Amino acid sequence: MKHIIALFLISVLGFPIFIFSLGSYPGRSLEEAAIERYYTSIEIQQGDSLWSIADKYCNNSGMTVTEYVKELKNMNGLKEDIIHSGHYLTVMYSDLDQNP
């Protein structure tokens, strides 16, 4: 009988915790999880670097500049930080940015 009561209590208390955990994102707030992300292609200009581009576009992304640089490299299949003017780069921006 004690086993049945213990199982019942675990079920009653554990189920809401399990359901709540499905909707949470580790390390991200609900506000960051709700950010709509869009993608566009930009032409790399003379003097641009991944870091300067990341600094421009990461503002409302929920990422740091370092995280955004890693994402840029991943999105564009780059292994190095080297980019060349005249080439194109896919960047991510949010619906909160005024001018992508």
CA distance 17 to 15: 5
- The number of C-alpha atoms within 13 Å of 67 and in the hemisphere containing its C-beta is 8
- The b/e string for 9-34 (b: 16+ C-beta within 10 A; e otherwise) is eeeeeeeeeeeeeeeeeeeeeeeeee
The residues pairing with 39 across neighbouring beta strands, listed in sequence order, are 92
pTM greater than 0.85 (yes/no): no
Residue 85 and residue 26 in contact, taking contact as beta carbons nearer than 8 Å: no
pLDDT in tens, 14-53: 656 656 566 544 555 545 556 788 999 999 999 999 999 9
pLDDT in tens, 48-89: 999 999 999 988 888 999 999 999 999 999 999 999 999 999
